[in-house]
């Protein structure tokens, strides 16, 4: 009988998987937070979530993958809460500082309305430049690890700047195949580039909202930057790309 039709099957599966789920969640939490106490709390939260999931839906198709994904989400939730608390504390500190310097604040309407915007822009500018330099330097290494077709696509499309139609003709395949190859290349490169982020940069992108600097936008630009300036990764990147 399938799990979803057996009211007690989920308990057996949950009991059998609980220890492995906790261990997986702990190591994921430790890798993300670099803190034993936080990792333990994440593992406990994942076990609680697993109990609810098993009871409602039955055993996941891949329990380890489910635990990994859930633990990552729990860790990201912590980053968001910490970042939100830090922004709130900074905002209160600036507000108190402005209250003590009323005359200076009165002369700057923009700062009085939302002083944090200026700090965010400066922080984003610094993160952007550091990210492009770091990621662009890793692009050749990442591309070299990909398949021959992806490597050929990178050379034609990014380095030689051929159009999709020209890439289709050069590779001797269909446009649909090249479009799929383009998506696969982008996903593979972005996934590997994310692993090269420093902990500070990774934390910034995890908590950044959709209206702020996005990792995917910066990484895509870094790919183009590396293709255009293969030996100049320490150069000064252009202004931040506008996200529409």
Domains of the chain: 3-79 (1.10.1740), 117-228 (no CATH)
Model pTM greater than 0.85? no
Residue-level pLDDT at 7: 67
Residue-level pLDDT at 110: 41
Q: In the predicted model, is pLDDT for residue 127 greater than 90?
A: no
User: Pick the residue with more confidence: 128 or 3?
Assistant: 128
Specify the DSSP element, H or E, that contains 137: helix 116-144
Residue-level pLDDT at 212: 57
Instruction: Count the neighbouring beta carbons within 10 Å of the beta carbon of residue 71.
Output: 27
In the structure, what pLDDT confidence band is assigned to residue 115 with cuts at 50, 70 and 90? very low
What is the DSSP secondary structure assignment for residue 84, as one 8-state letter?
Answer: H
Instruction: Count the neighbouring beta carbons within 10 Å of the beta carbon of residue 176.
Output: 9
Q: In the predicted model, is pLDDT for residue 144 greater than 50?
A: yes
Query: Distance from CA of residue 182 to its chain's centroid?
Result: 20
Q: How far apart are CA 213 and CA 215, in angstroms?
A: 7
């Amino acid at each position: 009988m399938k799990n979803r039709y057996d009211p007690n099957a989920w308990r057996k599966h949950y009991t059998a998987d609980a220890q492995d789920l906790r261990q997986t969640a702990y190591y994921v939490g430790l890798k993300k937070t670099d803190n034993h106490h936080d990792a333990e709390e994440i593992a406990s939260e994942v076990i609680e979530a697993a109990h609810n999931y098993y009871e409602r839906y039955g055993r996941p198709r891949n329990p380890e993958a489910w635990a990994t994904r859930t633990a990552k989400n729990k860790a990201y939730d912590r980053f968001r809460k910490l970042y939100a608390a830090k922004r709130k504390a900074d905002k209160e500190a600036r507000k108190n500082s402005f209250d003590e310097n009323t005359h200076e604040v009165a002369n700057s309407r923009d700062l009085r309305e939302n002083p944090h915007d200026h700090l965010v822009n400066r922080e984003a500018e610094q993160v952007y430049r550091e990210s492009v330099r770091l990621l662009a330097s890793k692009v050749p290494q990442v591309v070299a690890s990909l398949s021959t077709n992806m490597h050929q696509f990178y050379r034609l499309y990014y380095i030689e700047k051929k159009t999709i139609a020209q890439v289709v003709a050069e590779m001797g395949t269909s446009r649909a195949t090249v479009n799929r190859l383009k998506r696969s290349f982008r996903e593979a490169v972005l996934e590997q580039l994310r692993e090269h982020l420093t902990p500070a940069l990774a934390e910034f992108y995890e908590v950044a909202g959709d209206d702020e600097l996005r990792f995917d936008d910066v990484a895509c630009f870094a790919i183009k930057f590396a293709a255009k300036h293969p030996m100049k990764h320490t150069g000064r990147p252009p202004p931040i790309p506008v996200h529409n």
